[in-house]
Amino acid sequence: MTCGVHADPRITCGVAGSRAPHLWLERAGERVSTLDLASGYVLLAGAAGRAWVDAANEVRRSFGSLPLESYCIGKDLSDPEQRFPQAYGISNSGASLVRPDGYVAWKSAVGVAEPVPALSAALHASLCCGGPGATKR
């Protein structure tokens, strides 16, 4: 019997329920791992995903003290190897929500017309608290 075995994040491409893929990014000239960004919940959006970052800022207020950071990869953090979208299975307008334990809670492969309710529902589902528009997965 094996315990604690999970699928290789390099193969799962950020599918919900899998470990978040590790990539080296840069912030202010310093290398930072995508996994180190997940000290709380973290939303990682593609370079054209600023609407997701704005949505995260709005959603954070409605969740009170929930730690939620958000970054546009290619804007807020640089991706020197240009691997982020492919590693996370999203387009430049998509986003991925990573839980504090380093697992992907949810992702949207592309941008959507209304990112606030989509992200809010994803957080509600991840926290098992239901809520408006929450879906069971």
pTM of the model: 0.85
Domains of the chain by range and CATH? 9-126 (3.40.30.120)
Q: How confident is the model at residue 130 (pLDDT cuts 50, 70, 90)?
A: low
pLDDT tens, position by position, 36-85: 998 899 999 999 999 999 999 999 988 888 899 999 999 999 999 999 99
Predicted confidence (pLDDT) per residue in 63-75, tens digit: 888 899 999 999 9
As given in the structure block, the two tokens for residue 43 are 């939303």
Handedness of CA 111, 114, 119, 122 (dihedral sign): negative
H/E segment holding residue 107 = strand 104-108
pLDDT at residue 132 in the model? 46
**Residue 59 backbone dihedrals phi, psi, to 5 degrees:** -65, -40
- Give CA–CA dist 27/33, Å, rounded: 10
Indicate if the pLDDT at residue 23 is higher than 50: yes
- In this predicted structure, the answer to whether residue 135 has a pLDDT above a threshold of 70 is no
Does pLDDT of 115 surpass 50? Answer: yes
Residue 94 — pLDDT band, cuts 50, 70, 90? very high
The per-residue pLDDT for 15 is: 79
Residue 93 vs residue 130, higher pLDDT: 93
Least confident of 104-113, 115-124, 128-137: 128-137
